[in-house]
Amino acid sequence: MSNNNTYDAIVIGSGISGGWAAKELCEKGLKTLVLERGRDVVHLKDYPTATKNPWDFPHRGKKTTALTKDNPVVSRCYAYNETSEHFFVKDTEHPYIQEKPYDWIRGYQVGGKSLLWARQTQRWSKYDFEGPARDGFGDWPIRYKDIEPWYTHVERFAGISGNYDKLDTLPDGSFLPAWQMNSVEKEMQTNIMKKFTDRHVVQGRCAHLTEPQPIHIEQGRQPCQARSLCERGCPFGGYFSSNASTIPWAQKTGNLTLQANAVVHSIIYDETTQKAKGVRVIDRITKKATEYFARIIFVNAATLNTNLILLNSTSKRFPNGLGNDSGLLGKYIAFQNYRGNLSASIDGNLDKYYYGRRPTQPMMPNFRNVHKQETDFLRGYMVFFGAGRSRASAEGIGAEFKEQSTELGGWHVSMMMQGETIPKESNHVRLSPDLKDEWGIPQLITSIAYDENDERMLKDFLQVGSELLDAAGCKNIHSWDTKQSPGLDIHEMGGVRMGNDSKTSLLNNWNQLHHCKNVFVTDGACMASTSTQNPSLTFMAITARAANYAVEALKKGEL
């Protein structure tokens, strides 16, 4: 081994979970190498469109016909347009094989998709960790009490805004002041909760600094300006990203080595020690191969790439992928169901408006099958909605057109679902036996689809959503199925799932591979189920928990 290539720890990936792994490991004194397959992006320095005006772009920042034609997959993402395209992987840049339609949205750069995420952050509840075992489709090896202190740990550092709602289905956390509902949303909240006592409307919780605390100022971050230009990179550090927060913090320790343009080919297994000893890396630009070594390895490449790396990490001991004695590596991929949408209008409040571009909206935690099975589908869904006003229609030209354009139209309402899909063995990814990418790594085959449970859940939401909007006082209610492919939710999880039994899972309760204890997986790949809540906060908490365990185990000589 070359000493120049040897570290205490290696972290694969620099996104939300990789950044947290780097921060925790470096703070505890470990010399840590972070490998990022994309280019370097430095906070403030590398946000080229962050402060541009609409007229500074050739097409006013819109998604052009050419962008859509050349990138039919990534162009479906809500955040992809002329202002943000540099942070997205184009369809031709890292091809994959869709055995079934699947939209794989990726961000290859330092910070990964933490520059692009929608920043909604809810804790999972005890029902999210206990429910799958009751329903018979998975069993988490941890419970809410195991992760609760780590939620607090990451919330305080990241900065999460929210109200203290005192709901057991949506646990409270360590919050900054919440964003406010507008007047119409408050009326809707009152009307809905008056009619449906089991359905709670609360303000959304998000990773935006409303009132920065000393820990955030120390990071160099400032209050969110409510610009709603987040996918360009935030020059204020107003929302949480690896670039603005965890990576600079890790760099301050002097223990971080950050290497961009490092495409991880595979993890190297040592047959003698029965541990992983390092990783093989292909330089993204030169294609030169290099090996790096460490005592512990964290795999945080984002769900599908983490599966790809482990599947490609073969050895005499593990011919089917690292730690894959069960044969389940790459299986039980799950995601969240976003197909249900509704729109409506609502009368009144024409003398009221709102200010700024609030980064969150009201939501309703799951109320389906929470305590017991009550419907013809398993698990449930969260509901998001929002109310706003648009400009009135204008006709003519000149002064008349200008005058009409300043007038406001009535209020409109939108509503969407975020449903829990059930992990199934048939939903999987695997390696192509013959097609490789430009770095000589097998292409990934995605075989992931909706099932009857998802269809029944969708039908229920569209009916219930109409009832909710009617109770809220809405009119002209219209519902539809977006029919979007899995993946566009960008909440893919599983494939390297946690569990107590090594025959039915890949990772133990500390996120270690059952059969290779110095390899940890703490990104979305580790998840045993998807919940109805957003997953990113849980990725952060699980990562911090595992990283601190790894450091202690290393000190005790257990790794």
> Is position 233 within any domain?
no
Mean pLDDT confidence for 89-104: 97
**Residue 389: beta bridge partners?**
411
Q: How far apart are CA 522 and CA 103, in angstroms?
A: 22
Backbone angles phi, psi at 66, to 5 degrees: -65, -45
CA 553 to mean position of chain CA atoms: 28
CA 56 to mean position of chain CA atoms: 30
Q: pLDDT tens digits, residue range 368-377?
A: 999 999 999 9
> Is position 499 within any domain?
yes
> Is position 97 within any domain?
yes
Q: pLDDT tens digits, residue range 173-221?
A: 999 999 999 999 999 999 999 999 999 999 999 999 999 999 999 999 9
Q: How far apart are CA 28 and CA 313, in angstroms?
A: 28
Q: What is the pLDDT of residue 3?
A: 66
Same domain, 97 and 30: yes
pLDDT reading at 309 higher than 70: yes
261: closest CA among 19, 443, 40?
A: 40
Amino acid 430 reads R
Measured in Å, how far apart are the chain's first and last C-alpha atoms?
18
Q: Which two tokens stand for residue 19?
A: 């950044």
> Is position 41 within any domain?
yes
32: closest CA among 53, 59, 13, 50?
A: 13
Q: How far apart are CA 130 and CA 144, in angstroms?
A: 9
Q: How far apart are CA 397 and CA 379, in angstroms?
A: 54
Summary count for the chain: helices (H), strands (E): 11, 20
**Residue 199 three-state SS:** coil
**Residue 257: beta bridge partners?**
33
Amino acid 436 reads K
Same domain, 374 and 399: yes
Same domain, 169 and 279: no
At CA 185, angle to CA 182 and CA 188, rounded to 5?
A: 155
For residue 292, the enclosing domain spans: 1-55+81-161+241-335+424-447+491-559
Q: How many residues belong to the chain?
A: 559
> Is position 65 within any domain?
no
Same domain, 30 and 136: yes
Handedness of CA 153, 159, 162, 164 (dihedral sign): positive
User: Contact, 541 vs 154, CB < 8 A?
Assistant: yes
Local structure of residue 137 (DSSP, 8 states): S
424: closest CA among 379, 382, 362?
A: 379
pLDDT reading at 150 higher than 60: yes
Q: What is the pLDDT of residue 303?
A: 98
Q: How far apart are CA 18 and CA 517, in angstroms?
A: 18
pLDDT reading at 265 higher than 90: yes
Same domain, 354 and 256: no
Same domain, 460 and 504: no
Q: How far apart are CA 185 and CA 351, in angstroms?
A: 15
Q: CA Rg, the chain, in Å?
A: 23
Same domain, 406 and 295: no
Q: How far apart are CA 89 and CA 80, in angstroms?
A: 10
Neighbours of 444 (CB within 10 A): 25
Q: How far apart are CA 353 and CA 475, in angstroms?
A: 19
Question: Which segments of 90-210 are extended strands (E)?
Answer: 97-98, 202-203
Q: pLDDT tens digits, residue range 9-28?
A: 999 999 999 999 999 999 99
pLDDT reading at 354 higher than 90: no
Q: pLDDT tens digits, residue range 461-501?
A: 999 999 999 999 999 999 999 999 999 999 999 999 999 99
Mean pLDDT confidence for 126-138: 91
Same domain, 146 and 293: yes
Same domain, 155 and 174: no
Local structure of residue 212 (DSSP, 8 states): -
Mean pLDDT confidence for 47-73: 94
508: closest CA among 323, 327, 360?
A: 323
Domain count, the chain: 2
Residue 393 pLDDT class (50, 70, 90 cuts): confident
185: closest CA among 415, 386, 464?
A: 386
> Is position 210 within any domain?
no
Same domain, 21 and 116: yes
Q: pLDDT tens digits, residue range 505-543?
A: 999 999 999 999 999 999 999 999 999 999 999 999 999
Q: What is the pLDDT of residue 134?
A: 87
The pTM score is: 0.97
* Residues whose CB falls within 8 Å of the CB of residue 72, separated by 6 or more in sequence, listed in order: 91
Same domain, 289 and 412: no
pLDDT reading at 2 higher than 50: no
DSSP assignment of 298-360: EE-S-HHHHHHHHHT---SS-TTSTT-TTS-TTEEEE-EE--EEEEEEE---TT----S--S-
> Is position 67 within any domain?
no
Q: How far apart are CA 119 and CA 117, in angstroms?
A: 5
Q: pLDDT tens digits, residue range 338-352?
A: 999 999 999 999 899
DSSP assignment of 141-168: SS-HHHHHHHHHHHHHHH--B-----BT
Q: How far apart are CA 477 and CA 346, in angstroms?
A: 10
**Residue 428: beta bridge partners?**
331, 447
* CATH number for 14: 3.50.50.60
pLDDT reading at 1 higher than 50: no
**Side-chain half-sphere CA neighbours of 8 within 13 A:** 21
524: closest CA among 480, 490, 493?
A: 493
Q: Which two tokens stand for residue 476?
A: 């002209």
Mean pLDDT confidence for 137-150: 95
* Residues whose CB falls within 8 Å of the CB of residue 397, separated by 6 or more in sequence, listed in order: none
User: Contact, 394 vs 412, CB < 8 A?
Assistant: no
520: closest CA among 270, 325, 295, 281?
A: 295
Q: How far apart are CA 143 and CA 151, in angstroms?
A: 13
Same domain, 351 and 384: yes
Mean pLDDT confidence for 123-152: 95
Mean pLDDT confidence for 442-454: 98
Query: Percent helix, strand, coil in the chain (nearest 5)?
Result: 25, 25, 50
Q: What is the pLDDT of residue 76?
A: 97
User: Contact, 107 vs 85, CB < 8 A?
Assistant: no
> Is position 64 within any domain?
no
